[in-house]
Amino acid sequence: MPGKDDTQRDEGTAARSRRRFPGLSSRAYEHPADRSALVALRKLSGFDTVFKALSGLIPERSLRLLFLSDSVRVSEEQFPHLHDMLRDACYILDMPKVPAMYVSQDPKPGAMCVGLDEPVIVLTTGLVELLDEEEMRAVVGHEAGHALSGHAVYRTVLLFLTTLAVRISWIPLGNVAVMAIVTALREWFRKSELSADRAGLLVGQDVQASMRGLMKLAGGNHLHEMNVDAFLRQAEEYEAGGDLRDSVLKILNVLPRSHPFTTVRAAELRRWAASRDFQRLMDGHYPRREDDKEASVTDAFRESAASYADTVRTSADPLFKLVGGATDRIRRGFNGSADNAGGGTGA
């Protein structure tokens, strides 16, 4: 990786100028719901102990050996353009270490970041063949964002528990207990995907490339047949819903998924790219990693509650309209109790 004061990028990266974010904290781009969950987990007493115990059950060594033996490790000698992109993404986000990255033979476009001790990024050949350079840069930045946020740990646990649920499905009530945890983790992970999309935009700094990549994930390599504005209108139509039956069906459709629907991701990313928060970040005003220990759990939950309340208030979904008043009352009650408590728990 280039040095801290080195403004030159690896050969093969985009020639256009892109801003770098020294000392960037992942809190700068994390979705409020994702951030509140992560801050709470990091502050939870005994959390590290539980995960260390659980790590003994998760075959991480086996996973690494599998990638090493049956995938292609990205390096200066293999997929050098992806190697340059990864180093560049880590340089832009000022990551302390460049994670390993592999390309795995799979015609279905996909990518993931897994690992307990050290994150590993895996791209499928279907994805590599589908995206152009700038679209792929956003995806590599997306996965680097997962690594910087520590999402790889929880994703690995989610994969393990999903497999475990299948294996113990014959045990009465055993599968129910595990699936309850899996469902909760999936809800968090869907929000973490929105965070990683933001990290991808910070790396690529090209919102149109990010939009194109998401459209291709939905409709394949047929850009001449697709239109960003029309694609975003699909998200508006989906979010507007119909009647209460459609609202319930949307919930049932999304429950088994680890990722939000593609049109929803595109709409969320476009909104963030147009926000004042994004502009301030691009102007150099953002949280630093050195201040992460001072992050307040209460402030994070307050932001999460405000985000959900805003989503409910502005949504055209019939179910959201129905619960909108109750959500505002809950948020006001939470803010009031937090203020009375003197601002909540800080590190």
Question: For 213-244, what is each residue's pLDDT tens digit?
Answer: 999 999 999 999 999 999 999 998 888 766 66
Tell me how far apart the 2 most distant CA atoms of the chain are, in Å.
59
**CB count, 10 Å around CB of 284?**
10
Q: How confident is the model at residue 2 (pLDDT cuts 50, 70, 90)?
A: very low
Please enumerate, as own/partner, the contacts of 42-51 that have beta carbons within 8 Å and a separation of 24 or more: 42/150, 43/297, 43/345, 43/347, 51/116, 51/153, 51/157
Whole-number average pLDDT of the chain: 78
- Helix residue spans in the chain (DSSP H): 32-43, 47-55, 60-70, 80-92, 125-130, 133-149, 151-167, 174-204, 207-219, 228-240, 244-254, 262-273, 276-282, 297-314, 318-340
Lowest mean pLDDT among 36-45, 125-134, 216-225: 36-45
pLDDT (average), residues 40-56: 57
Residue 203 token pair? 């790396």
Q: Is residue 247 over pLDDT 80?
A: no
pLDDT-derived band of residue 154, with 50, 70 and 90 as boundaries? confident
Q: Which residues make beta-bridge pairs with 102?
A: 73, 122
> Which pLDDT belongs to residue 3?
41
Whether 27 shows a pLDDT value over 80: the answer reads yes
The predicted pLDDT at position 248 comes to 73
Q: Residue 147 above 90 pLDDT?
A: yes
pLDDT for the residue numbered 67: 85
Neighbouring CB atoms inside 10 A of 78's CB total 12
Element (H, E) at 112: strand 111-114
Q: Containing H/E element for 286?
A: none
Q: Looking at the predicted structure, is the pLDDT value of residue 288 above 90?
A: yes
Task: Kindly tell me if the per-residue pLDDT of 171 is higher than 70.
Answer: no
- Residue-level pLDDT at 138: 98
* Confidence (pLDDT) at 22: 97
For residue 185, pLDDT over 70 is answered with no
Q: Is 86 in contact with 144 (CB distance < 8 Å)?
A: yes
Residue 211 pLDDT more than 60? yes
Query: Which residue's entry shows tokens 């528990």?
Result: 161
pLDDT for 334 beyond 50: no
Q: Residue 122 is inside which H or E element, if any?
A: strand 120-124
Residues 6+ apart with CB under 8 A from 305: 330, 331, 334, 335
